[in-house]
């Protein structure tokens, strides 16, 4: 197999994968979407909400906000977030405050809710590490490919902001390698 980088920046990348078959290309795409660990706010506790939206709707909106996921974290790590706002105003993702300087909101301009006069929300959220196969809030990217001809594919990866697309690709390839080693161990038994 051969990889030729066509474009690579902090939000998306394009590369050509040559000498691969359809099943390998599809396995890579699925690993990019479903198997790379990243943070998402998974549990939300409300202390106040007199807005027109019910708690579950706001919790879902907060949970879908991409959270930066630096290297060195694992499934046991939890990061606390808080949000307190009073209307009239539009509450954005930038209003969600993290207790960790590195693990924070990836995009500050995502609208959460519009509060009217005297409407308030106050909540805490707990971000945990998860994978896209559990919930779409843990997906780090959109990954697609197009078959050019036999054994040649154009890949496109667009990050949601948790990490750069090159890092997502590295982590996905590392997961594939690790799982193949486990299969090889089992076959030897």
- Going by C-alpha positions, the residue among 98, 175, 93, 94 that lies closest to residue 133 is 175
Report the alpha-carbon distance of residue 131 to residue 37 in Å, rounded.
5
Instruction: Using CA atoms of 75, 95, 98, 134 in order, give the dihedral in degrees to the nearest 10.
Output: 0
Looking at residue 189, its pLDDT comes to 79
Looking at residue 120, its pLDDT comes to 98
Report the alpha-carbon distance of residue 38 to residue 25 in Å, rounded.
22
CATH superfamily of the domain spanning 38-132: DNA-directed RNA polymerase, insert domain (2.170.120.12)
Residues of the chain with CATH 2.170.120.12: 38-132
Give the fold, CATH level 3, of 2-36+140-188: Gyrase A; domain 2 (3.30.1360)
Burial class (CB in 10 A: 0-12, 13-18, 19+), 77: middle
Looking at residue 168, its pLDDT comes to 97
Looking at residue 188, its pLDDT comes to 86
- Going by C-alpha positions, the residue among 27, 32, 30 that lies closest to residue 13 is 32
Q: What is the pTM of this model?
A: 0.91
Stretches in the chain below the pLDDT threshold 70: none
Residues of the chain with CATH 3.30.1360.10: 2-36+140-188
Looking at residue 74, its pLDDT comes to 86
Phi and psi (nearest 5°) for 111?
A: -70, 135
């Amino acid at each position: 197999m051969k990889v030729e980088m066509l474009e690579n920046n902090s939000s998306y990348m394009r590369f050509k994968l040559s000498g691969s078959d359809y099943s390998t290309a599809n396995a890579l795409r699925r690993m990019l979407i479903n198997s790379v660990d990243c943070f998402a706010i998974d549990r939300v506790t409300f202390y106040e909400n007199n807005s027109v939206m019910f708690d579950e709707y706001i919790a879902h909106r907060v949970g879908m906000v991409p959270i930066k996921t630096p290297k060195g974290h694992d499934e046991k790590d939890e990061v606390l977030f808080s949000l307190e706002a009073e209307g009239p105003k539009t509450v954005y993702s930038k209003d969600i405050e993290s207790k960790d300087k590195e693990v924070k909101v990836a995009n500050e301009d995502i609208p959460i809710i519009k509060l009217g006069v005297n409407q308030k929300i106050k909540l805490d959220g707990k971000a945990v590490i998860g994978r896209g196969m559990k919930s779409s809030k843990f997906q780090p990217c959109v990954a697609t490919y197009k078959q050019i001809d036999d054994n040649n594919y154009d890949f496109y990866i667009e990050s949601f902001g948790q990490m750069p697309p090159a890092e997502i690709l590295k982590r996905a390839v590392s997961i594939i390698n690790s799982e193949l080693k486990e299969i090889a161990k089992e076959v030897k038994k």
